[in-house]
Amino acid sequence: MWSPHSQQNMTQQQRTLGMTSAITLAGPKQIDHVRTEELVETLEQYNVSVCEEELNHRMEILSKLNNLVKEWIRETSINRNMPSNVAEQVGGKIYTFGSYRLGVHHKGADIDALCVAPRHVDRSDYFTTFFDKLKEQEEVSDLRAVPDAFVPVIKMNFDGIEIDMLFARLALKEIPDSMDLRDDMLLKNLDQKCVRSLNGCRVTDEILRLVPNVENFRLALRAIKLWAKKHGIYSNALGYLGGVSWAMLVARTCQLYPNAVAATLVHKFFLVFSKWKWPQPVLLKQLDDVNLGFPVWDPRVNIADRYHLMPIITPAYPQQNSTFNVSMSTRTIMEDEFKQGLAITDEIMFGRQTWDKLFEPPNFFTKYRHYIVLLAFAATPEDQLEWCGLVESKVRHLIVSLERNEHIVLAHVNPECFPHYGGSELVSSTQPATPSPTDSTGPVENSEPAPDASPPSNLSTAATATTTTTTTTATTNNAPSTPNPPPKGGKGDGLGSMWFIGLVFAKTEHLNVDLTYDIQSFTETVYRHANQIKMMKDGMKIEARYVKRKQLQSYVPPHLLKRERKTSTSNSNSSQTPKNGTTTPMMSPTSESKSSTANNGASNKKRISDNACDGYFKKAKIGDESGGQGDESPNQSIIQGGEDSNSTSFSLDESSNPCVNIGEPQKNTESTGSQLVGTNNSAALTKEVCHVIAVTTERLCLNQCV
């Protein structure tokens, strides 16, 4: 029977969100609700949500900050000879954005906030008088200002909650509490820093407006963020994706499946983006043409935009690429994780695995045979906090530099920063940075055969102008490496932090790789920037060391080096019962045969959609379509492999034994231009043409499953 309620539902279903129509408007089945309940139960074990008490505490803190801002603006107005009765009306407001505004923040997470002030309050006032006012608050600790950042910010701990607060001045006399920042004309006559500060709130609000079901979006996003963090691909600074980028990918999935529940959305997320034809951009809406003079992402106009490897475009004007930092290596790593995630969620949706499998972290320290250890030292904890942040923001430049080396296929940086304390005995100051094969310090993994070629040379360098290290040449393949003396002001003088970079070398015999230029260029860049912003202090230094997998025991705890038994979700014949005791619905013999064939590989018969996937995987070498730059692309010879997240997915160098050197600077160096290589310029379009492929593949999948 017709009713207004049914008409409203039909109208909602017909609503098109995003660049294209939905792949399917089908609603959830009973088994989809069961899988969603299982997902909720699993997420509760990881404390990804906050309790009511903490939520109220955060609201109280924001209320105090909001009152503090109004009070400061009123005082500033009076100091500028504004009548008191007028100063009472100028207003001012605190807005939130990021994970807190999206409703996906976890326990203990920070809050991203924006202070919006009227036109007579300057940014200089914010970093002086307001900063001084914050100092007077007893709830505030760890207060620090970064006025020269790309997006200026004040960081603080307010009553136990970390807060990053930006500032924006609008060209208005008053800021009422009802102010809506989505109006594009608010950006008129603003400077770039104010526009960038406002962009966070505007993008977050637009994302929430562009998803069909906010609650399903939030639950799916919680799952994807947890998966990304567990798998080490959640870090915008290091070249992976940040929170807003993951939110936009999940939002695009919601647009393509508007009536799906969270469990289905997580599965479809991996289906869509494991087949996405990067560098095709991800867009949540048509690009706005506001013409206020601010630069927007548009590869038709901006040549530099054509070199972006994984563009995900923010939906609010001025539209920007939120994944500018992605490199060839990080994109390859994320693509591989998408494919593995699809394989695991396939098993979960069929009931052969539980959601815990998706959130199992891979063992980074058993994945590769060769590593670079990057260490940053400072004299005091306060200095170390600043120094560590600066070094981490520059690590992606080292990754890009390593990718340009013709002998390096992949450079995989682990986003986790490990502490290295001054008094730690993990690495002795008299121990060589890279022990020779004759060094018997510590146990050697029984599962790994002894190396049959040259020992690695010592890659330790303090990266100062007076530091030199001995270069190991190809003629010293059978000689043990010579220990380096510890750098000036050794590790005992201060605190330290460590990052690890896994390397895959080209499969070449008698390979001799010299990384001197790459390391020195990176360290000089960090020191130069530190001097420019007047951060450089005594005791701040960087070291880079090359180690093999068996030598990692000197740097990380033993439990991180344990090898896990190789398992394959796709080769599992036994059905596992989900946690809540539900079982997979009975399938017909025909569909069961098809599923068994596709998952177990027991026959050459495949679904049409599987053949499409295989064709895509065969073309998955990065840079094989790069016109004129293919020779420079380090990822052309990458072989996608591995059955699970703990296997050695990139194993081209298993039979190779490179000799890696850091010594005198290379005489013939290549250009260190900022352009990323291996991208087809014409591929960066402003329309999601790959959606046609996704629709065709998905409908074929649906036809097979129904």
Binding-site residues for Mg(2+): 110, 112, 164
- Catalytic (active site) residue 180: no
d(CA 480, CA 432): 11
d(CA 499, CA 637): 26
Q: By the 8 A CB rule, do 518 and 374 touch?
A: no
Binding residues for ATP: 97-99, 110-112, 164, 225, 234, 243-244
d(CA 314, CA 296): 10
User: What are the C-alpha distances in Å from 82 to residues 85, 253, 456?
Assistant: 8, 51, 70
Written as six digits, the tokens of 560 are 């991180």
Active-site choice (21, 110, 394, 572): 110
Active-site choice (46, 64, 133, 164): 164
Give which of 654, 677, 657, 622 is closest to 401, Cα–Cα: 677
Neighbours of 6 (CB within 10 A): 10
User: What are the C-alpha distances in Å from 335 to residues 81, 239, 270?
Assistant: 59, 13, 10
d(CA 194, CA 325): 22
The answer to whether the Cα torsion of 102, 107, 109, 113 is positive or negative is positive
Determine the length of the chain.
706
Q: By the 8 A CB rule, do 392 and 237 touch?
A: yes
The contacts of residue 260 (CB under 8 Å, 6+ apart) are 26, 28, 32, 216, 254, 268
State CA 101 to chain mean position distance: 19
d(CA 483, CA 609): 56
Bridge-partner residues for 156, per DSSP?
A: 163
- Catalytic (active site) residue 99: yes
- Catalytic (active site) residue 225: yes
3-state secondary structure of 394: helix
Active-site choice (70, 93, 193, 225): 225
The counts of H helices and E strands in the chain are 17, 12
φ, ψ (nearest 5 deg) of residue 312: -125, 110
Give which of 288, 64, 271 is closest to 697, Cα–Cα: 271
User: What are the C-alpha distances in Å from 479 to residues 443, 473, 650?
Assistant: 21, 10, 29
Active-site choice (126, 234, 257, 371): 234
State CA 391 to chain mean position distance: 17
State CA 137 to chain mean position distance: 34
Binding residues: 97-99, 110-112, 164, 225, 234, 243-244
Q: How close are the terminal C-alpha atoms of the chain, in Å?
A: 27
Active-site choice (32, 93, 95, 99): 99
- Catalytic (active site) residue 514: no
Give which of 360, 354, 361, 269 is closest to 40, Cα–Cα: 354
d(CA 159, CA 627): 55
At position 570, the amino acid (one-letter code) is S
154: left (phi over 0), alpha (psi -120 to 50) or beta: beta
3-state secondary structure of 526: helix
The arrangement of strands across the sheet holding 93-97 comes to 93-97, 111-117, 161-169, 153-158, 140-146
Query: Locate tokens 């009227």: which residue?
Result: 118
d(CA 347, CA 358): 10
- Catalytic (active site) residue 383: no
3-state secondary structure of 376: strand
Bridge-based pairing state of the strands 408-413 and 495-505: antiparallel
Element (H, E) at 615: helix 608-618
Active-site choice (32, 49, 95, 112): 112
3-state secondary structure of 291: coil
Please give the positions annotated as active site: 99, 110, 112, 164, 225, 234
